[in-house]
Structure 1
């Protein structure tokens, strides 16, 4: 299935022999990191195996939200919101960012109480959260038939266009001197004297002092290549893009049955509010123990299935020599087919519950692979085993909105600056140092 059209970014023809930093991965996290580094006059090369933003960075919902974040992400997301507000001016480009508000429906009193308690995490961020009653929800969505007692509304949250954002950031990074290399898979890293000394790509070697692994759903495979344990799995989320429809709601709206946000072209991006599909693959068994607590928590929202992905990943090489093609060269873009059954159900529920959108017409459907970690918060961290290696991955479906802030924090670690927020919760070592993996609930 073809994915969404992404603003094209043409990669550099020439491979640099040496830079200070190599960023692996051309999604929004990798691009934001490269921009932050290049703006400081530090030489950086961004290596992407396919095209800039062609995987989950262009396939997500396009929400820029502080609402209902894991409390450990709130400070970083607040920083990201501040960056989004000035991002188009900084990039000299249009990302489609707009502050339009996000509404999370509360189906019952318990959910209302939980989100009311969560809203206290917004205190001190400088951004607003309001608890709406039924009348308040009706003012935002006139004529709606959604069952509920109220909602959490965050008027400072917003939206942007995933197919525009990562390319715009990459082009800005290039203007500041970054090398943008597409169809240039990194096969592995090299070390000298116990620390990072370079990478080997399919087009040749690049010497460097620091490597940032921001490979999204591919990060675990790359980590395994050099002996690091990163328990990461993929979740398939199916999204519908509609034709433009005049007069629809401006605010994004989440319910268990559907999640919508208005697009810049006047259409909507639509997905299930809670259902996603998980292919059973070999890593499902490798990481089963790590994900068991999360599976218990999310059991009702995950649809496990056995498909050809099991055999595709079973046959995928786990170890390869740096002078031979890597798995990243055999799969430039993860482009899994969306669930037509699931998206049809979502559309049916949407049209019943939001009559104002009853006339929506489907323009496209796509599937996106969300890279998830057991505690659903990312790794943004130095890797002690390899001085000079920094990870920024595992954003668990939260990466688009938090991207600019995550890029700034990652760059802080690379450049040895004072971190914009405390990165302790995002440390890589939490999976191996005996720390209890915490699954946050009730938000």
Structure 2
């Protein structure tokens, strides 16, 4: 794992031009993937990244490329993304850490098994290779403690990649297709004339553009709010760790009710706690409280609330909430958000690892890090054009799913921005679902 900071040397030294066809705000997996697909169509693209490409959540996630357990509307998109990831492996001519070892969900109760059976129906509808596993089959494939899991579910075509390698590699392909990527270049605000987008103001000056994609991850809502575009997006902190190289007890990627683990290229395991996330209360927490109440009641049992968050986090009380193109913005003040890991995470991770794999008791962690996940009240992203702001497109709120779905989300956004069909039913991802009185339909949190 490479933990980025504002001191990390730049990898992309593009120079801001006077004009472009499309400007993309954010150099994470969504923004970079969109730029890649647009450039392949011959569109002139500039990506402005306030800090470093993949510097925040796009390099800090689990690395899963998962179709299993997805929302019904996301599943066909994630299946497309799986295919694109395989194509990227050949196009980059670089090591992305891509491998198809399957994703396993491990059941600790009859309720878990029942939920897997429910997903099997959706998987069969789409021809996905998901399988239900007995307790014996789980133990044959994962050398854990006997009796720990009562069964499981696996999708063998699911995969993983190393995020801190993969996203910069895709950015390098995009550059080869003509994309200009400018790091240390925050976009401050957008220019409109008669309701039509004409360009943007960055810290390095103005740039003309007829279309802009806001793909700023956890920072998207703060940027949009300054323009009067209201999104009920919040952020939660998630902690991940890497072990030293250890005995290979399992080659794939797996999670049970509160623990996730996957094999790494370096011979260790990445570990995560699916029931330990932290939301730091800020102005948006109160502003969007009622839209978030359904998810708080159902899916936030493992989310703790705190008043004192990491310095400068996206919904910090200290951020200014209104500015012009002449002002220094929060995006310039926080180039790369590098939050401290949850204090209890290390001890809990090692205890759960030893419980599930007694033979790995005493394993050492070599690195532990955290990132801020951008989340929507239904755990489903927005992929749409902003109402009343013609030319502004938004792709954000991927709720921890962004890395795996990123390449297909980028393909979709590239077509939407070109006025082409998305190739999928995008009703579930529309911006106005939070404003038109629609009932919030929760997607899967994991």
> TM-score, with normalisation over the residues of structure 2?
0.95
Whether the 8 Å CA contact 1:25–1:214 is kept in 2: the answer is yes
What is the CA distance between 1:150 and its match in structure 2? 0.5
Distance across 1 between alignment mates of 2:102 and 2:323: 47
**Given that residues 190 and 197 in structure 1 are in contact (C-alpha distance below 8 angstroms), is that contact kept between their aligned partners in structure 2?**
yes
Question: Partner residue of 1:364?
Answer: 367
Residue 377 of structure 1 corresponds to 380
Alpha-carbon RMSD across the aligned residues, in angstroms, is: 2.1
* Separation (CA, whole Å) in 1 of partners of 2:201 and 2:283: 27
- After TM superposition, the score normalised by the length of structure 1 is 0.95
Q: Which residue of 1 aligns with 2:406?
A: 403
Note the C-alpha offset of 1:426: 0.4
Q: Deviations over 1:210-269 (max 9, x none)?
A: 000000000000110110110111111011112222423101120123100111122111
1:13/1:113 CA distance change after superposition, 3 Å = closer
CA distance in 2: counterparts of 1:441 and 1:64, whole angstroms: 15
Q: Within 2, Cα distance between the matches of 1:80 and 1:112?
A: 27
Which 10-residue stretch deviates more, 127-136 or 276-285? Answer: 276-285
Aligned equivalents of 2:7, 2:329: Cα separation in 1 = 25
Q: CA deviation at 1:144?
A: 2.5
Within-5 A mapping of 1:224-235: 224-235=225-236
Residue 191 of structure 1 corresponds to which residue in structure 2?
Answer: 192
Runs of 4+ in 1 over 6 A off after TM superposition: 4-8
**DSSP 3-state at the match of 2:409:** helix
Residue 104 of structure 2 corresponds to 103
Q: Mean Cα displacement is larger for which, 261-270 or 211-220?
A: 261-270
Are 1:391 and 2:394 counterparts? yes
| Deviation of the 1:13 alpha carbon | 4.5
Q: Verify the 8 A CA contact 1:32 1:403 in the aligned structure 2.
A: yes
| Map 1:8-407 → 2, pairs under 5 A | 10-145=11-146, 147-309=148-310, 313-407=316-410
* Secondary structure of residue in 2 paired with 1:369: strand
- 2:75 counterpart SS class: helix
Mark the CA change 1:178 to 1:442 in structure 2 (over 3 Å): closer, same or farther: closer
**Distance in 2 of aligned mates of 1:345 and 1:146:** 21
The CA deviation at 1:209 is: 0.5
Q: Deviations along 1:167-211, whole A, 9 cap, x unmatched?
A: 011111110000001000000110123211001110011101100
Cα distance in 1 for residues equivalent to 2:5 and 2:67: 25
For structure 1, which segment, 246-255 or 39-48, has the greater mean C-alpha deviation from structure 2 after superposition?
246-255
CA distance in 2, matches of 1:176, 1:440: 35
Measured after TM superposition, the shift of residue 39 of structure 1 is 0.8
CA contact (8 A) 2:386 2:394 kept: yes
Q: Once the 2 structures are TM-superposed, how far is the Cα of residue 430 of structure 1 from its aligned partner?
A: 0.9
2:423 pairs with 1:423 = no
Is the CA contact (8 Å cut-off) linking 2:106 and 2:256 kept in structure 1? yes
Q: Aligned pairs, how many? A: 443
What is the Cα deviation at residue 279 of structure 1? 1.2
- 1:213 and 1:392 map into 2 onto residues whose CA distance is 6
- Call closer, same or farther: CA 1:294–1:143 in 2, change over 3 Å: closer
List per-residue Cα deviations over 1:43-85 (Å, max 9, x = no partner): 0000000000010000101111111112221111111111112
Q: Unaligned 5+ residue runs, structure 1?
A: none
